[in-house]
Amino acid sequence: MEIQQETCINESLYDVLVIGAGIAGEESALKLADMGYRVLLVEKEPSIGGKMILLSKVFPTLDCAACITTPKVSETARHPNITILTLTEVEEIVRDTKNRFSVTLKKKPRYVVEKDCTGCQECEKACPAIVNDQFQFNLTARKAVYIPFTIANPRVALIDIDNCLLCGACEKACPSNCIDFTQKEEQLKITAKSVIVSTGFKLFDPIQIERYGFGRYKNVITSMQMERQLAPTRPFNNILRPSDGKVPDKIAYVFCAGSRDHTVGNPICSQVCCMYSTKQAQLLMGALPMADVSLYYINIRAFGKGFDEFYEQAKDMGAKYVKGKIASITEKENGNLILRYEDIATGKVTEKEHDLVVLSVGILANPGITRVFKKERLETDALNYIRQTDLLQSPAITSIEGVFAAGTATAPMDIPDTIMSAGAAATETSSYLARLS
Amino acid sequence: MKKKIGVYVCHCGGNISDHVDIEKVKAAVRDEADVYLVKNTLFACADSSQKEIGSDIENEHLDAIVVASCSPKLHLNTFRGVAQRAGLNPYNYVQVNIREQSSWAHSDNKTGATEKAILLVKAGIAKAKESEALQSLKIPAANVVAVIGAGVGGMKTAIGLADMGTEVYLIEKDFFVGGRTPQWGTVSPNGDEGAILTEKLYKEVVRRPNITLFTGAELVEKSGSIGNFDLKIALRPRFVSGNPSTEAMQRAAEACPVAVKDDFNFGLTNRRAFMLPAQGQFPQVPAIDQSACTRCGECTAACHEVDLTQEVQTITLHVGAFVVNTGFDPYQPAQGEYGYGELDNVITLPQFRRLMEMNESELVFNGKKIKKIAYIYCVGSRQDDDEGNTYCSRYCCTATSLTAVLAKKKFGNIINFHFNRGIRTYGKHELVYEAASKQGDIFLQFSLKSIPQIEKRGNKTYVKVKDILTAGKELETEADLIVLVTGMVPRKNELLAQQLKIPTGRDHFFNEIHMKLRPVETVIDGVLIAGTCQSPKNILETVNSSMAAAAKINSVLTKGELSLEPTLAKVNPAACDWCDNCSKACPFDAILQTEINGKKVARVNESNCKGCGMCTPVCPTDAIDLAGYTNAQVESMIDALAEA
């Protein structure tokens, strides 16, 4: 009988457990692995790469996100010192008597034998069950058996068992016999000398802001949905508005949707929305040269290296920046939308019609991971981000000794800042491991 | 000659395929001699594509591969890795750049972009045919790093490296560590003090045996390359030896007759040529400012530790790499900019912070009690193109909001007016802006086209603005003190810039290789950058980047050896007549004269050679060639390009 990978992992000792395999987790894992440490990288999604791998181009350099992130993904995946577990969640972390962390993991079944799947997608063609594609942010559909997205890693299929009809069509279609409905959820126990929490952020769900009509008005979409329409692996190969598939020509961005807003419990600025919206505006003006792009803002936070120049460039290209917070949105019969706001330039309440509205949604803390720490408490700050107990001197240190934090688990930040923070977490972890031994 | 070449043409999502007809490129090169297979790929760099290329090499026994994709700057090493893992020598791989050089450069002309891409790929195939397997050289590397600049960032880099087992030389130009941080007073809404943070870090630095701190020290000479740099460091004399008592220091300072502007207080006060360390400056040992000292000897009598006979010492160090952490200077307003230097109540934000530290319970400047403060934002930042600094200095909106809160808290009866260009308190800093708003601060917004006007009428000063937030109304307020919120500029250090040759951007800050992939590395191997010498940052961001630099360079040096690129110049001694042309052309002193059987010929010192190719065209007898870019390869590429 072949020894399964999982059996090898069970009961193993790692120098570092990295939770979350977005850009922060990958960067921390790579740096530590390059130093010679053994790293276990755990990801709850079926692919590593986090949110960055789903983006189009990134500000302010307009590098294609896939071109930057796939090499890191690939380097992470084949590093001899890194073991990756996808579809795996951490259930419990508790310090043992030897000052190590005893970790319980829950590995969900993929129902596909990972090492045998060639990614041929024959199963997808055969599957009759159609559901919303979460990696396209529900813009398009996928099958119940599916490869998460084109540049996923591992690029192997999985079965979404909640939506599967158990018809067996995929099993018949698979040329390498790797569909396996007998797989069960597994519990794995490992030991780690240290932990890095790089669990990233949650996107704000604008359904909470009723007056913007998201979920009711079809042509009100989120910035992440626009991001997918602009990505190299875009679903439509064009920009389309949802109600009628028309190419929009009067697009509005509503800034600070879910940020700087006490009414939704998020008083802080999300740090990235001004710039990603400015980037999307530039890409849209390239894709739809005749379209009018208006951006309704409170303040423009173009603070990083090259950001302000990037903002000026968008204005020069013809993006219309309007200072004014959108009060409400109403829908017309033709699907167009009326935006009502106080135009700060004139001081008057004004209404403008647009045919597509993009909500620049903010980012929120993702503190679920704190629950898995037993006996010791992983503290959070007032905004639910992991608390940095020595903010200015050692930003990666948390309330638990040997547990470090990287990236947006601690605060909103952009990709360069995330990578720096992940590097800092690697230094902090490596220093801690050196002290242990 | 290679006979079985695999060619891969990348779509790069749509980055290439939107403007280059990939099928045409494939069709045009399919029948080239020695091309065994041609494939297209959505993302050649994706793991699945890498695996496919690898298995083609193994299964089809390819002897060379060409990937037509993006710039080699991005992915040369990615695909060399693919070749190597599949058992093909990495130098039998050729990268052709049809993204930057075809699709992006000619996005207006799909036919032309496609034609150019075809020719570039053909030239790449020609080069691959002539490619030879090369072996990289392994050299020992010193796990020792020179950290330049001992501000908060430099000290964090040093501590991080030391804790990971790297030996550190921490080299500070001033006589005191801490950089700008101890000058700032309270540095966060939690009440963290710059002086205390500096003290903590200084104590961490000195208790680590593998950090050697040099103050008054400057890099004057550098040679060698990553893994093995040789440095000369000049140590300026402190003119004080040992640890004088506080009383002796005070006596000596009082005895010193020379007064100069005190840089620590940004010129608000004077200090003596005999410099006492300020609060938060370390070591707490005085130093004599050589440029101001008249050598009168008054201090010698007051303090026995003074030794005016000390001279500049030069020491040599051997290190594997540098981390440059030289920080920033506050922007210096021009004479007359918002009345600076002309009106007696106009100062900069850094000066105001010193003033706040120097005043106890009442805020007084030039003998006048201060109640109304006008802050003018973006001084030296977000300027017009032709005028100067176009960038946003990042820290200032938050720093000013916090300053306003602290001023009101400390001195009570203060009214703050913020003349800003849109408040940029990003992320959690928003809460600081909120605190300033809640305490009743008044925010007025202007644009670059209509900046605030300062007017003196009688003995009163007024600031007038066309306020964006009230639909362009002209508003005016009286102000007791005008604070110019000055941005950051990179700290002046010409000698260092000359020695290290780090490229700078249009903003004059040092440039990283790639903001996201390699944010702390520069194009000079083994020279890293961190903190505000790269771009404006706050303390937290400086610390993160400094520790990231530590992680990066430690992971490179910790193995104790490095691989050198084998693309090196090679001399054919039979053809060489030693004319000296090559050695004169070489910018790296890599060509030496040697004798073989009594004949004088050139020899290449491989550890110095960078493979730049300056030597090959000047050789009159074609006796020198560059591995990986041989004459045969380059000529065959030109032939391929010319055939069209």
Residue B194 and residue B262 in one domain: no
Nearest 10 degrees: CA dihedral of A71, A77, A78, A81?
120
- Give every residue of chain A whose pLDDT is below 50, as ranges: 1-7
A83 closest CA partner among A160, A166, A15, A174:
A15
CB-based burial, A261-274: b 16+ in 10 Å, e otherwise: beebebbbbbbbbb
Q: Decide: B238 and B175 in contact? Cβ < 8 Å.
A: yes
Task: Tell me which residue of A203, A240, A229, A358 sits closest to A295, measured CA to CA.
Answer: A358
Distance in angstroms (rounded) separating the CA atoms of residues A288 and A72: 32
Q: What strands lie across the sheet with B346-348, from one edge to the other? A: B346-348, B481-486, B372-379, B415-420, B442-445
B639 is a domain residue: no
A390 touches chain B (CB under 8 A): no
Supply the ipTM of this predicted assembly: 0.95
- Tell me whether residues B12 and A232 touch, CB distance under 8 A: yes
* B472 touches B488 (CB < 8 A): no
Kindly state whether residue B367 falls inside one of the protein's structural domains. yes
Those residues whose C-beta lies under 8 Å from the C-beta of residue B136, and which sit 6 or more positions away, are B563, B564, B565, B566
Bridge-based pairing of strands B5-10 and B35-41 is parallel
Comparing alpha-carbon positions, the chain A residue that sits nearest to B161 is: A427
Q: Do B474 and B549 share a domain, yes or no?
A: no
B50 in contact with A at a CB cutoff of 8 Å?
Answer: yes
Tell whether B515 is within 8 A of chain A (Cβ): yes
Closest residue of chain A to B521, computed from CA coordinates: A420
**B638 part of a folded domain:** no
| Contact with chain A for residue B552, Cβ under 8 A | yes
CA-based torsion, B352, B357, B361, B364: positive or negative: negative
Within 8 A of B552 by CB-CB distance, chain A residues are 31, 423
Is B637 a member of any domain? no
Query: Does the distance separating the beta carbons of B427 and A269 come in below 8 Å?
Result: yes
**What is d(CA B195, CA B1) in angstroms, rounded to the nearest whole number?**
67
| Partners of residue A422 in chain B, C-beta under 8 Å | 548
Q: Do A391 and B190 touch (CB under 8 A)?
A: yes
Under 8 Å between Cβ of B469 and B462: no
Q: Which of residues 99-138 of B touch A (CB under 8 A)?
A: none
Q: Which of A51, A47, A35, A118 is nearest to A85 (CA)?
A: A47
Q: Which residues lie below 8 Å from residue B426, measured CB to CB, with a gap of 6+?
A: A269, A271, A301, A303, A412, B398
Flag whether residue B541 sits within 8 Å of chain A, measured between CB atoms.
yes
Which of B456, B489, B522 represents a domain boundary (last residue)? B489
Chain A residue numbers touching B46 (CB-CB < 8 A): 66, 70, 73-74, 150-151, 153, 155
Question: Residues spanned by CATH 3.30.70.20 within chain A?
Answer: 109-184
Residues B483, B350 share a domain = yes
B155 and B119 both lie in a single domain: no
Closest Cα partner for A153 from A234, A224, A78, A63? Answer: A78
Assign a CATH topology to domain A109-184.
Alpha-Beta Plaits (3.30.70)
Is A305's CB within 8 Å of B12's CB?
no
* B529 plus B461 within the same structural domain: no
Instruction: Verify whether the Cβ–Cβ distance A395 to B470 is below 8 Å.
Output: no
Chains A, B: CB pairs < 8 Å: 222
CB B123 within 8 A of CB B96: yes
Residue labelled with tokens 């106009």: B346
Residues of A in contact with B84 (CB under 8 A): none
* Average pLDDT, consecutive stretches of 10 residues, N- to C-terminus, chain B (644 residues): 94 90 96 95 87 96 96 88 96 96 92 96 96 92 98 98 98 97 95 97 98 97 91 97 92 96 96 95 96 94 94 98 97 96 97 96 95 98 86 98 98 97 98 98 97 96 97 97 97 89 92 92 94 98 98 96 91 94 90 93 88 94 94 95 83
CA distance B138 to chain A (A): 18
Q: What angle do CA A239, A242, A247 make, to 5 degrees?
A: 35
| CATH 3.40.50.720 applies to domain A203-363 | no
Query: Do B525 and B442 belong to one domain?
Result: no
- Give the C-alpha separation, A317 to A285, whole Å: 8
Interface contact flag, B428 A423, Cβ < 8 Å: no
Q: Is B48 within 8 Å of A119 when comparing Cβ atoms?
A: yes
Determine contact: A391 vs chain B, CB below 8 A: yes
Q: In what order do the strands lie in the sheet with B313-319?
A: B217-225, B228-235, B313-319
From A392's Cα to the closest Cα of chain B, the distance in A is: 5
CB spacing of A78 vs B429 below 8 angstroms: no
Q: Are A268 and B430 within 8 A, CB to CB?
A: yes
Helix, strand, coil content of chain B in percent (nearest 5): 30, 25, 40
Nearest CA in chain A to B540: A392
* C-alpha B610 chain-centroid distance: 22
Q: Which of A76, A427, A433 to mutate to test the interface with B (most CBs of B within 10 A)?
A: A427
B537 shares its domain with B412: no
Please, which residues have CB within 8 angstroms of residue B162's CB and are 6 or more apart in sequence? B168, B208, B210, B211
pLDDT at residue B564 in the model: 83
Q: Is the Cβ–Cβ distance between A302 and A255 less than 8 Å?
A: no
Where residue B408 sits, what CATH number does that domain have? 3.50.50.60
Q: Cβ of B430 under 8 Å from any chain A Cβ?
A: yes
Nearest to A424 among B12, B163, B548 (CB): B548
Radius of gyration of chain B (CA): 31
Residues of B with Cβ-Cβ distance to A383 under 8 angstroms: 428
Is B192 part of the contact surface with chain A (CB cutoff 8 Å)? yes
DSSP line for B398-427:
HHHHHHHHHHHHHHSS-EEEEEESS----G
Domain final residue, candidates B540, B561, B582? B561
Distance of residue B478 Cα from the nearest chain A Cα, in angstroms: 25
Q: Is B25 helix (H, G, I), strand (E, B) or coil?
A: helix
SS3 A262: helix
Contact B551, B156 (CB under 8 A): no
CB atoms within 10 A of CB B557: 26
Chain B residues close to A61, C-beta within 8 Å: 515-516
If one counts the domains in chain B, the total is 5
Note whether B516 contacts A231, CB cutoff 8 Å. no
Q: Identify the domain containing residue B33 by its residue range.
A: 5-134
**B211 and B320 in a common domain:** yes
Residues of B in contact with A35 (CB under 8 A): 164, 551, 554-555, 558
Q: Give the mutation candidate from B555, B557, B558 for the A interface (greatest A CB count, under 10 A).
A: B555
Report pLDDT for B644: 64
Q: Could you tell me which chain B residue has the CA closest to the CA of A24?
A: B516
Quick check: B564 and B136 in contact, CB under 8 A? yes
Chain A CB contacts of B42 below 8 Å: 150-151, 232-233
B357 and B377 both lie in a single domain: yes
Report the C-alpha gap between A232 and A56 in whole angstroms.
Answer: 6
* Cα angle value A240/A245/A251 (rounded, 5°): 45
The set of residues, in sequence order, having a beta carbon less than 8 Å from that of A304 and lying 6+ positions away, is: A60, A275, A414, A416, A417, B392, B394, B535
Token duo for residue B279: 């609060």
Q: Do B218 and B340 share a domain, yes or no?
A: no
Residue B640 lies in a domain: no
Q: Do B470 and B339 lie in a common domain?
A: yes
Which of B91, B108, B134 corresponds to the end of one domain?
B134
Neighbouring C-beta atoms of residue B522, cutoff 10 Å: 21
- Indicate the residue of B50, B394, B544 with minimum beta-carbon distance to A395: B544
In a domain, B359, yes or no: yes
Q: State whether B405 and B340 are in the same domain.
A: yes
- CA-based nearest residue in chain B for residue A348: B471
CB contact under 8 A, A393 and B544: no
Neighbours of B251 (CB within 10 A): 17
Q: What is the CATH number for B604?
A: 3.30.70.20
Residue B3, number of CB atoms within 10 A of its CB: 12
Distance (Å) from the alpha carbon of B72 to chain A's nearest alpha carbon: 13
Using an 8 Å CB-CB cutoff, list chain B residues near A261: none
Q: Do the chains contact at A303 and B426, CB–CB below 8 Å?
A: yes
Is residue A41 within 8 A of residue A18, CB to CB? The reply is yes
Closest-approach residue (CA) in chain A for B385? A309
Per the CB < 8 A criterion, the answer to whether A387 and A411 are in contact is no
- Beta-carbon separation of B390 and A431 below 8 A: no
Residue B631 located in a structural domain: no
C-beta separation of A133 from A225 below 8 A: no
CB contact, 8 Å: A73 with chain B? yes
Alpha-carbon distance B589 to nearest alpha carbon in chain A (angstroms): 33
Residues of chain A with CATH 3.50.50.60: 11-107+185-201+365-437, 203-363
Q: Which of A115, A299, A315, A323 to mutate to test the interface with B (most CBs of B within 10 A)?
A: A299
Sign of CA dihedral B16, B19, B25, B26: positive
Instruction: Tell me which residue in B85, B390, B536 faces A309 most closely, judged by beta carbons.
Output: B390
Q: What is the CATH number of domain A11-107+185-201+365-437?
A: 3.50.50.60
Are B428 and A412 an interchain contact pair (Cβ–Cβ within 8 Å)?
A: yes
Cα B362 to chain centroid, rounded: 41
- The partner residue sitting opposite B47, judged by closest CB among A74, A233, A383, is A74
Cβ within 8 Å, pair B78-A35? no
A305 to chain B: which residues are within 8 Å by CB?
391, 507, 509, 515, 534-536
Residue B641 lies in a domain: no
